[in-house]
Amino acid sequence: MVNLSERRRFLKIMLGIGAIALIGSVGGSKLSELLASNEGARSALTPLDQWYVVQIGNTPNVNVDNYRLMVDGLVNNPLSLSLKDIMQMESTSLRDTIQCVSDSFFLKANVEWRGVPLQSILKLAKPLSNATKVILYGADGYTSDLPLYKAMEPTTLVVYEADQELLLQQHGYPVRMAVPGWWGYKYVKWLVRISLTNTDYLGYWESRGYPDIAKK
Ligand SMILES: Nc1nc2c(c(=O)[nH]1)N[C@H]1C(S)=C(S)[C@@H](COP(=O)(O)O)O[C@H]1N2
Ligand SMILES: [Mo]
């Protein structure tokens, strides 16, 4: 999708198919195990230095001292949360596989996230009854969006840790989204704003033709 030329991407996809064919010839059950959608729950964590990076531009430098996560739009109670505010809320941890839609075989990582359910933050902000969507903004200008029902699922998290460490800068420090079950482009890094809307807003990749309902 980004950072890979079309040609290299094509080669990588072909390699992926080769690997699948090879495993497939060894045993069909192994193939289905590998491709199981909840594999993050069972597979070993990906070493941090093998975790892929995909992004539309450079890694922004977010200063944690004046970091705020704004929650606004169709809410009764707009919020401005510091990292400390977020870390003091009740947290959830879960294992997940983050996967890029452009090369879902190589560009993926098994990660143990820790963060706050987006649901808890939205409940504090008190959405108005006409809100239908949540727009997620990154400090690099990237955006994505979630329908309110997905935003309210208990596994949709505003995360600040991966594998029990603070996020690395290239993976979204200090705060990013994790949306288990959906493609990586929903996992907005350097999350700085959450805005509720009743418009059919489409994010960066969604407005370029990738599915808005991004179920893997
Ligand atoms: N702010 C921001 N978030 C982003 C992106 C981006 O360009 N900017 N790219 C998305 C895409 S397409 C993917 S696949 C994942 C990759 O996350 P990673 O680099 O931590 O593996 O981040 C998503 N979140
Ligand atoms: Mo991606």
pLDDT tens-place string over residues 99-108: 999 999 999 9
Does the pLDDT at position 97 exceed 90? Answer: yes
118: Cα separation from own chain's centroid: 12
Edge-to-edge strand order for the sheet containing 133-138?
A: 79-81, 69-73, 191-197, 133-138, 143-147
Cα–Cα distance for residue pair 184/165, rounded to 1 Å: 20
Cα–Cα distance for residue pair 174/160, rounded to 1 Å: 6
Q: Peptide bond before 174: cis, by omega within 30 degrees of 0? A: yes
Does the pLDDT at position 34 exceed 70? Answer: no
pLDDT confidence bin for 136, thresholds 50/70/90: very high
| Distance between Cα 29 and ligand 1 center (Å) | 32
Is any atom of ligand 1 closer than 6 Å to the C-beta of 54?
Answer: yes
Does the pLDDT at position 55 exceed 90? Answer: yes
pLDDT tens-place string over residues 154-193: 999 999 999 999 999 999 999 999 999 999 999 999 999 9
Choose one of 51, 52, 55 to mutate for the ligand 1 pocket test, by most ligand atoms within 8 angstroms of C-beta: 55
Amino acid, single-letter form, for residue 69:
L
Residue nearest to atom 9 of ligand 1 (CA): 55
| Distance between Cα 54 and ligand 2 center (Å) | 6
Q: What pLDDT score does 44 carry?
A: 93
Strands 108-117 and 92-99 come out as: antiparallel
Choose one of 2, 185, 206 to mutate for the ligand 1 pocket test, by most ligand atoms within 8 angstroms of C-beta: 185
Q: What pLDDT score does 41 carry?
A: 57
Is any atom of ligand 1 closer than 6 Å to the C-beta of 52?
Answer: yes
Ligand located closest to 52 CA? 1
Nearest to 108 by CA among 31, 50, 167, 33: 50
Q: What is the pTM of this model?
A: 0.85
Structure-block tokens of residue 14: 């072909």
More confident residue, 122 or 29: 122
What's the mean pLDDT when you consider all of the chain? 87
> For 137, phi and psi rounded to 5 degrees?
-115, 135
Three-state DSSP state, 191? strand
**Nearest atom within ligand 1 for CA of residue 205:** 12
More confident residue, 54 or 41: 54
pLDDT confidence bin for 49, thresholds 50/70/90: confident
Is any atom of ligand 1 closer than 6 Å to the C-beta of 189?
Answer: yes
What protein residues have CB closer than 5 angstroms to ion ligand 2? Answer: 1, 54, 100, 184-185
Q: What pLDDT score does 30 carry?
A: 45
Q: What pLDDT score does 43 carry?
A: 79
